[in-house]
Amino acid sequence: MRLPGPDGREWELLTTVAQRWEAQMLQGFLETNGVETWLLSYDASAAAYPGIGSQGQQILVPPEDLETARALLDSGLEPPRDTDADVDPTAKATTERLAAILMDLLAQPCVTGAEAPIADWLAARYHATGEEVRRVGNSLVVGAATGERPCVALVGHLDVVPPTDADREPRRDGDRIVGRGASDMKSGLAVAMDCFEEPDLRGAAYDLLLVAYAGEEGPHEGNELERVLAEVGEVAEADLALVLEPTDLAVQLGCLGTLHAEVTFRGKAAHSARPWFGDNALHKAGPFLTDLGRQPVEDVAVGGLVFREVLSATGAWTTNARNVVPDAFTVNVNYRFAPDKSIAEAEAHLDAFVGERADVVVTDRAPAAPPHADAPLVSAFVAAARAPVEAKQAWTDVARFAAVGVPALNYGPGLTAQAHQAGEHVPLGNLVAARHALATFLRAGPPGE
């Protein structure tokens, strides 16, 4: 089976495996043996949702390499755990360098709201090498755009959620590194820093900015990316923002928008021994909650990717004493909507769903971001990374970039399942793979050059 690849070339299907890690292991094995590969997510059980899930991973190779690739698989060679590093001394050096940066990052205290020490440390590192460093609060923009080449911002947040006893002390454990933030997202920052610090890559096709910001894990208002975008024009004018959040080495495009609304049912208070004198607001909400529970997941295709729209009650309360029939009952409803809708359209959809039954007050809103899959630098990155491409089924800071017109994507070495977990870890091989993808993209330059 031949498929047109993201790079416009034809690719041949070599095999399909169940797990992404298997696909990545085979990819490492094939590429070490000189066969280019392209991984494609494929939901074998529901082809209708090509952008979601990872029930199947297709491994594709150039048609001319198909025979070689088959022979390699048939040779039954067990790919060594540390393929690149065993074979290639430069790869070994890259692994050790990335591990060292990651260990340095993990050693800096940086729980949300207390990022000053890590920002100081990072600023000192780059002042020492003569880089331009601009600081906004506890966020940093390192490097400068000349305006002569397209500008790529390598973006990551500095903060972590509070550590647990299982990850307070960063350590190396075989081929993984354990520590709070190892996956979310110090490993992404380490990859960004290592690329940024390589003169070859700085001298290649793009101006690079390293953007390390504070307050991502906390409440919306504390997120400093908004201020960085407002105060450092070069970031808001970048041609691509590569946000290295954990994605299991998949390219995640776009993001869902989110609305929180307080939906309040009104009634009339009464003593609960004589409820007929009142009108129970809580009881009135019953049919609404049933409707909400029956809402189907709405699959919305945008730019070739499928986003899943969902509407959920996430909390509810009354404020009366327990022997009083409540005169008001409020349900917090969270609506996650696809990038084909503006915030106003999402609010209108929610209003129509509630109808005359209750009052709706939207308390929090964040826009969705389109996948921008056609933006030249996004497709160039997808082609260079040869990684599975997925819709981002959540809200992320790529939306802040989208809001100022900067195409942005999520791609990182961290494991999504490890984010915020006790004993958080990351496999070192993922850093090497992500570093390779970034370097390939940065060296290749923009399409058509």
Interface contacts to Zn ion, rule CB under 5 A: 184-185, 245
Q: Among 389, 390, 397, which residue's Cα sits nearest to residue 368?
A: 397
Is the Cβ of residue 159 or residue 347 nearer to Zn ion in the bound state? 159
What SS3 class is residue 235?
Answer: helix
What SS3 class is residue 341?
Answer: coil
Smallest distance, Å, CB 396 to Zn ion? Answer: 8
Smallest distance, Å, CB 44 to Zn ion? Answer: 30
Is the Cβ of residue 245 or residue 347 nearer to Zn ion in the bound state? 245
Is the Cβ of residue 93 or residue 422 nearer to Zn ion in the bound state? 422
Q: Which residues of 327-357 are buried (b: 16+ CB within 10 A; e: fewer)?
A: bbbbbbbebbbbbebebeebbebbeebbeee
Q: Are 243 and 396 in contact (CB under 8 A)?
A: yes
Q: Among 242, 252, 211, 244, which residue's Cα sits nearest to residue 229?
A: 211
Smallest distance, Å, CB 228 to Zn ion? Answer: 16
Smallest distance, Å, CB 166 to Zn ion? Answer: 19
Q: Which residue is nearest to Zn ion (CB)?
A: 184
Is the Cβ of residue 184 or residue 390 nearer to Zn ion in the bound state? 184
Q: Which residues contact 230 (CB under 8 A, 6 or more apart)?
A: 236
* DSSP string over 3-55: EE-TTSSEEEEEEEES-HHHHHHHHHHHHHTT---EEEE--TT-TT-TTS--S
Q: Using CA atoms, how far apart are residues 146 and 138, in angstroms rounded to an integer?
A: 24
Smallest distance, Å, CB 255 to Zn ion? Answer: 13
Is the Cβ of residue 414 or residue 429 nearer to Zn ion in the bound state? 414
Is the Cβ of residue 234 or residue 245 nearer to Zn ion in the bound state? 245
Residue 199 CB-half CA count within 13 A: 1
Smallest distance, Å, CB 69 to Zn ion? Answer: 35
Q: Among 228, 229, 236, which residue's Cα sits nearest to residue 137?
A: 228
Return phi, psi of residue 163, to 5°: -70, 165
Catalytic residue positions?
159, 216
> For the chain, give me the number of helices (H) and strands (E)?
15, 22
